[in-house]
């Protein structure tokens, strides 16, 4: 089964699309101003199976993880989040790992290339794809997407997100609010997350 959460402009256009084998968080076609370099970087991550091994090797020789190039640190996790061939459980672990980077202050205001990393992270989260397995587990992934988007907006680097990235995140949250095939709990959680994100944006 493929689950597609799809937006047309600002209007939600309907039900889940059922095909074979994936869950895909999908919005309207990409905004025209999306930087090609970021999109190409994310594509190259998915096509590089040795990316995680290389990142781990580089971390071993790094004296301070806070000084590690942030886009390189996030790269293998973003590749997992965007890959349609990974299970919901693995995708959930990748999302959790990135949330821990924020919680443990591995991602800070002084992190190298923070702005680039935040844009790449926003793009990956709003284009998340994974293999459908168990409906309950699939909704856990969607809940973690909501939580991560909240952390991104309210935490370090939130002020570096452009209007395009914020709009994509809002669309993703709104699509979960409106999708009647999702559980009541998930839709209400999405509503609460949307309220928090909107408040954060207007407090700037």
Task: Indicate the average pLDDT of the chain.
Answer: 79
Given this model, what pLDDT does residue 10 score? 24
- pTM of this structure: 0.77
More confident residue, 158 or 18: 158
All structural domains of the chain with their residue ranges: 3-202
- Dmax over CA atoms of the chain, in Å, equals 50
pLDDT bracket for residue 61 (50, 70, 90)? confident
Given this model, what pLDDT does residue 141 score? 95
Summarize pLDDT for 10-58 with one digit per residue, the tens.
222 332 333 444 555 544 334 334 345 444 544 454 455 566 677 777 7
Given this model, what pLDDT does residue 136 score? 86
DSSP string for 63-118: S-GGGS-HHHHHHHHHHHHH-TTSBHHHHHHHHHHHHHHHHTTSS-TTSTTHHHHH
């Amino acid at each position: 089964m493929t689950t597609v959460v799809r937006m047309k402009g600002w209007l939600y256009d309907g039900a889940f699309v059922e095909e074979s084998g994936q869950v895909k968080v999908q919005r309207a076609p990409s905004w025209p101003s999306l930087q090609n370099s970021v999109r190409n970087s994310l594509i190259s991550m998915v096509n590089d199976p040795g990316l995680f091994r290389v990142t781990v090797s580089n971390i071993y020789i790094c004296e301070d993880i806070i000084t590690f190039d942030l886009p390189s640190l996030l790269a293998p996790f973003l590749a997992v989040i965007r890959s349609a061939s990974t299970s919901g459980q693995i995708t959930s672990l990748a999302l959790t790992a990135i949330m821990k980077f924020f919680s443990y202050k591995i991602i800070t205001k002084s992190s190298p290339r923070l702005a680039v990393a935040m844009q790449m992270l926003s793009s990956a989260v709003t284009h998340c794809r994974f293999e459908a397995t168990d409906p309950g587990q699939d909704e856990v992934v969607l809940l973690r997407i909501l939580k991560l988007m909240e952390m991104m907006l309210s935490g370090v680097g939130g002020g570096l997100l452009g209007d395009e990235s914020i709009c994509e995140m809002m669309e993703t949250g709104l699509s979960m609010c409106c999708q009647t095939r999702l559980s009541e709990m998930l839709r209400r959680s999405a509503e609460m997350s949307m309220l928090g994100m909107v408040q954060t944006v207007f407090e700037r």
